[in-house]
């Protein structure tokens, strides 16, 4: 099945080569979770500060349980500092 992976800011470096700007459609198995998707692309867990599944925030403890369905969108941002 296909899902969309969106990585922003410094996380964009982990996208596959065929990515379009900050997003990529990827083929995954039926048992893929948000966490295993990020692991597949070597996104460091401590850098995936904000993770959304279809626009809904996933607490770090929920990421391993959030099983993906065809067409889902997983988006991640690194920690942000400033003020």
Structural domain includes residue 8: yes
Q: What is the count of structural domains for the chain?
A: 1
Query: What pLDDT, in 10s, does the model give residues 7-52?
Result: 999 999 999 998 999 999 999 999 999 999 999 999 999 999 999 9
Structural domain includes residue 32: yes
Give this prediction's pTM. Answer: 0.93
Structural domain includes residue 79: no
Q: Tell me which residue range forms the domain holding 46.
A: 2-72
Q: What distance in Å separates the CA atoms of residue 61 and residue 5, rounded to the nearest whole number?
A: 19
Structural domain includes residue 81: no
User: How sure is the predictor about 80, in pLDDT bands with cuts at 50, 70 and 90?
Assistant: confident
Q: Does the pLDDT of residue 3 top 90, yes or no?
A: yes
Structural domain includes residue 43: yes
Of the candidates 71, 75, 53, 70, the one whose C-alpha atom is nearest the C-alpha of residue 62 is 53
Structural domain includes residue 78: no
């Amino acid at each position: 099945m296909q899902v969309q992976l969106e990585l922003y800011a410094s996380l964009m470096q982990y996208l596959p080569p065929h990515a379009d700007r900050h997003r990529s459609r990827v083929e995954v198995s039926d048992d893929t979770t948000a966490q295993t998707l990020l692991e597949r692309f070597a996104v460091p867990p401590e850098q995936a500060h904000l993770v959304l599944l279809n626009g809904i925030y996933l607490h770090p403890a929920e990421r391993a349980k959030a099983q993906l369905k065809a067409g889902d969108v997983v988006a991640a941002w690194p920690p942000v500092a400033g003020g």
